[in-house]
Structures are given as structure tokens and as C-alpha cells.
């Protein structure tokens, strides 16, 4: 039986990342991988995930901010690091100092970077972000726009070295006709912009567009790189969404917590804030030391979510508290203080929690609190 490590904790199977990367490679062939490790690798440990990705042969990482990039550098990650988001001008110096690659989030932004780099006679590495329909960041590209000139222009800045070009899919997860047409149009626009650059003797640099669902549903695009985040963690955003491929991923996350107290309720007694659970019969209840401040969403309260106590599936009852929750363990013999309760792992998917919380796995993972220890999976 698994021994407790803390009051509540994550265990992460970093070794399984190599398997998941192989599954991605089976889909994308020669397209190389930029390992997306932003937001602390979706909560699972940016440095540890990056090291595991390195072991799997990945030499390029994507983060959302300059601070996330610096964290990787300070922990010995010397490979290419692309900052997918905006870096404010006060931090431009770090781009130079740490040799980071900045996304050009607009033409005006590229000029701001150029001005900074020119003043210090430095060169800033960059990838041109092309907005083909997400309308979030990027140099807008539509054929009927003047925007090709804006794209071309950033390749001519003296102190910005544009090493790549990329775009992003908002509906690559959706296989309905409209969504597929939208995604295919994005691909056409991306290709067209690249061809127009080449026609003007401009090397567009490394091309990439596929996020996880872009890989699962549009695996044959053949660009230089793809940008999976969730996939190497062995999950998709939503396991009920139909996909065009059948990869065999291993989910890398487990979550456990300790039983702190076991007690019997008499019929009519209630549990937790709001008294939403009322015992109909004598009921044995275990209090477990994990709550919404650990990342167990409060909205899961009273939804009949199952967890595993000493191997037996048991129901969460009553409102989830900040640091604790309660489980009906009437059918489990010998439950006692210190026993380990499994919330994710042992066949319990993160998707169940996500579904009950009406969100996507990306949010469930990134909501795991900082105070939860993340340790390498034991008992593999």
C-alpha cells in the first residue's frame, strides 16, 4: 500500500513523458517538437518536464513569459526557448542576456524591440507570430490586407533575427464542418504568407502551427515543428471530444491525500458547510486533507465524485472545504488515520474532475495549488 508523503500531494511519472513524446512522433513524422512548458508545465513542473522532454530528445521549449524562460535557463536548460506571449519593454534586456526567442506579437511591437536592440547594438532572436484568425496576438494576415507588408517588414529589421514563423489554431479540436473549414483556411493563409515571403527571397525560418489538437486532427501538415503541451502529459483537453487519431498516451499525473479522521454518523446527521449531505443510515465518514485551496474544485461538491480509499471506490460527500473534504467510507473496512486516498491515478482520470467542473484539463492541471508537493511517481 502507498505510504503517505504529505497531507496532500501530486506524483508525476516523468518517465512516461518519453512514451507520450513517441506517440506524438508517430503522428507527426519528421516534424520536430517544441515542448510547451508554460505555466509551470501546466502545473506539473516546468524544469522537471523540460528535463524529461530533453531525455526524449526535445531541444526546443515554449513558455508564456520571460520569467518562465529565465527559470528554465537558471536551471540549466540551454536549448532554444520561445516566449509565446508578450514581454514588456522593461524586460527586453533579459531576452538578450539569456538568448531567448521572443514572439513578435505585432508589427509595432517588433519595432519597439528593434529600437531597444539597436540602442544597445544587440540582436534579439524572434519568431514572427501570424494571426490567421485567432485574433489574440500576431501580425494579422489576410490576403486582402496590407498586412503582408507588415510581416515582410519585420524580417528586414536590422537588430531582430527572425528565426521562425508560427500561428495558432482556435478550433483544431472541433471536427464539425465549419470548424474544419476555418482551420483549413488558417493553414492556407499560413502557407500563402510563407510562399509570399519566399517569393521575395526572404527565408521565413522554422514553421509551426499545431497545438495538441492540431497534432491529433491535422497530423500530416509537415511543418518544421509542432507545439504540444497537454499531449506529453498523456491527456487531451477533453476526453469526450472526438479526434482523428488513436494515440496510446500514459497520463503522468496522480493526486493523493491523507485520511485525518474517521467517524460514524447517525441517520439525520449532516456533513460540512451548508449541511448538504444528510446521512440516511449509519454512515462511516473519512475526512481527507485536501480541499479547494489545493486545486480540488469546490464545484465538485455533492456531485457524487468517486475517489479510491484503500483501493475501494467511495463517494465524496458534502461541500469541499478549503483544505479538507469528506468521503463516505461505510463500505471500506479498516480505514484509519494516515490511509492514502487517490483522487487522480489508479484508473481515476483527470477528465472526470474536469467534466464535473465544466472546464478543460488545461485548467484542472494549472489549478493545482503551489502548496501541493510535486514528486516523482513512486510505485510505477
Answer yes or no: are the C-beta atoms of 249 and 234 closer than 8 Å.
yes
84, 139, 194, 219: which one binds ligand PLP (CB under 6 A): 84
- The Cα–Cα gap between 57 and 52 comes to 9
7, 127, 168, 355: which one binds ligand PLP (CB under 6 A): 168
Tell me how many residues contact ligand PLP (CB under 6 A). Answer: 9
Taking the complex as a whole, the smallest distance from the CB of residue 365 to ligand PLP amounts, in Å, to: 10
Number of residues that make up the chain: 380
| Binding of residue 36 to ligand PLP (CB under 6 A) | yes
Set of cell numbers at residue 348: 481515476
Query: What are the helix (H) ranges across the chain?
Result: 16-28, 38-42, 46-55, 66-74, 92-97, 107-119, 147-154, 177-199, 212-217, 350-356, 361-366
CB nearer ligand PLP, residue 208 or residue 284: 208
- The Cα–Cα gap between 121 and 114 comes to 10
CB nearer ligand PLP, residue 13 or residue 131: 131
| Binding of residue 212 to ligand PLP (CB under 6 A) | yes
CB nearer ligand PLP, residue 191 or residue 238: 238
Q: Is the dihedral of CA 107, 113, 117, 123 positive or negative?
A: negative
Phi, psi of 360, deg, nearest 5? -120, 160
Set of cell numbers at residue 310: 484503500
Q: Which residue is nearest to ligand PLP (CB)?
A: 229
Return left, alpha or beta for 133; rule: phi > 0 is left, psi -120 to 50 is alpha, else beta: left
- The Cα–Cα gap between 380 and 16 comes to 10
| Binding of residue 229 to ligand PLP (CB under 6 A) | yes
Of 43-51, 120-128, 227-235, 309-317, the window that binds ligand PLP (rule: CB under 6 A) is: 227-235
| Binding of residue 211 to ligand PLP (CB under 6 A) | yes
| Binding of residue 252 to ligand PLP (CB under 6 A) | no
Taking the complex as a whole, the smallest distance from the CB of residue 143 to ligand PLP amounts, in Å, to: 23
Taking the complex as a whole, the smallest distance from the CB of residue 57 to ligand PLP amounts, in Å, to: 18
Cite the active site residues: 38, 273
CB proximity list for 244: less than 8 A, separation 6 or greater: 175, 216, 217, 218, 219
Taking the complex as a whole, the smallest distance from the CB of residue 233 to ligand PLP amounts, in Å, to: 8
Give the distance from CA 269 to its chain's centroid.
41
Instruction: Identify the bridge partners of residue 127 per DSSP, sorted by sequence position.
Output: 103, 164
| Binding of residue 227 to ligand PLP (CB under 6 A) | yes
* CA-to-CA separations, 67 to 19, 85, 92, 94, in angstroms, rounded: 29, 11, 11, 9
CB nearer ligand PLP, residue 125 or residue 308: 125
Taking the complex as a whole, the smallest distance from the CB of residue 226 to ligand PLP amounts, in Å, to: 9
Of 104-112, 180-188, 221-229, 298-306, the window that binds ligand PLP (rule: CB under 6 A) is: 221-229
Of 74-82, 222-230, 275-283, 291-299, the window that binds ligand PLP (rule: CB under 6 A) is: 222-230
Output DSSP code: residue 300.
G
Within 97-156, the residues that bind ligand PLP by CB under 6 A are none
Q: How many CB atoms lie within 10 A of CB 49?
A: 24
Set of cell numbers at residue 210: 499545431
Taking the complex as a whole, the smallest distance from the CB of residue 175 to ligand PLP amounts, in Å, to: 16
CB nearer ligand PLP, residue 8 or residue 230: 230
Q: Which residue has the cell 463517494?
A: 315
35, 133, 228, 345: which one binds ligand PLP (CB under 6 A): 228
CB nearer ligand PLP, residue 129 or residue 308: 129
Taking the complex as a whole, the smallest distance from the CB of residue 84 to ligand PLP amounts, in Å, to: 4
Taking the complex as a whole, the smallest distance from the CB of residue 210 to ligand PLP amounts, in Å, to: 8
Phi, psi of 127, deg, nearest 5? -120, 135
User: Residue 38: which of 259, 211, 282, 253 has the closest Cα?
Assistant: 211
CB nearer ligand PLP, residue 217 or residue 287: 217
CB nearer ligand PLP, residue 210 or residue 319: 210
Rg of the chain's alpha carbons, rounded to an integer?
24
- The Cα–Cα gap between 132 and 140 comes to 6
Binding site for ligand PLP (CB under 6 A): 36, 84, 168, 211-212, 227-230
Amino acid at each position: 500500500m502507498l505510504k503517505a508523503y504529505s497531507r496532500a500531494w501530486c506524483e508525476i511519472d516523468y518517465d512516461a513523458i518519453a512514451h507520450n513524446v513517441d506517440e506524438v512522433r508517430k503522428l507527426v513524422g519528421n516534424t520536430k517538437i517544441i515542448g510547451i512548458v508554460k505555466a509551470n508545465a501546466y502545473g506539473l513542473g516546468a524544469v522537471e518536464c523540460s528535463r524529461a522532454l530533453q531525455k526524449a530528445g526535445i531541444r526546443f521549449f515554449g513558455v508564456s513569459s520571460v520569467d518562465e524562460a529565465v527559470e528554465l535557463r537558471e536551471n540549466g536548460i540551454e536549448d532554444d526557448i520561445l516566449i509565446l506571449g508578450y514581454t514588456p519593454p522593461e524586460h527586453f534586456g533579459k531576452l538578450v542576456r539569456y538568448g531567448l526567442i521572443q514572439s513578435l506579437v505585432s508589427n509595432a511591437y517588433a519595432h519597439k524591440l528593434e529600437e531597444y536592440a539597436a540602442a544597445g547594438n544587440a540582436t534579439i532572436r524572434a519568431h514572427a507570430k501570424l494571426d490567421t484568425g485567432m485574433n489574440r496576438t500576431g501580425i494579422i494576415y489576410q490576403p486582402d490586407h496590407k498586412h503582408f507588408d507588415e510581416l515582410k517588414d519585420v524580417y528586414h529589421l536590422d537588430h531582430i533575427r527572425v528565426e521562425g514563423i508560427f500561428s495558432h489554431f482556435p478550433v483544431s479540436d472541433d471536427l464539425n464542418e465549419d470548424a474544419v473549414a476555418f482551420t483549413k483556411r488558417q493553414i492556407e493563409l499560413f502557407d500563402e504568407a510563407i510562399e509570399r515571403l519566399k517569393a521575395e527571397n526572404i527565408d521565413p525560418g522554422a514553421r509551426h502551427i499545431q497545438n495538441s489538437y492540431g497534432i491529433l486532427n491535422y497530423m500530416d501538415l509537415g511543418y518544421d515543428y509542432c507545439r504540444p503541451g497537454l499531449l506529453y502529459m498523456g491527456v487531451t483537453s477533453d476526453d469526450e471530444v472526438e479526434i482523428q487519431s488513436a494515440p496510446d498516451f500514459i497520463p503522468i499525473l496522480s493526486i493523493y491525500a491523507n485520511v485525518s479522521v474517521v467517524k460514524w454518523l447517525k441517520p439525520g446527521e449532516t456533513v460540512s458547510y451548508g449541511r448538504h449531505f444528510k446521512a440516511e443510515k449509519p454512515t462511516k465518514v473519512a475526512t481527507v486533507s485536501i480541499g479547494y485551496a489545493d486545486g480540488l474544485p469546490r464545484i465538485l461538491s455533492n456531485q457524487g465524485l468517486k475517489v479510491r480509499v484503500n483501493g475501494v471506490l467511495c463517494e465524496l460527500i458534502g461541500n469541499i472545504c478549503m483544505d479538507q473534504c469528506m468521503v463516505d467510507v461505510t463500505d471500506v473496512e479498516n480505514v484509519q488515520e494516515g490511509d492514502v486516498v487517490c483522487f487522480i491515478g489508479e484508473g481515476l482520470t483527470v477528465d472526470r474532475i474536469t467534466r464535473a467542473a465544466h472546464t478543460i484539463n488545461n485548467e484542472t492541471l494549472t489549478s493545482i495549488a503551489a502548496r501541493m508537493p510535486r514528486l516523482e511517481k513512486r510505485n510505477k
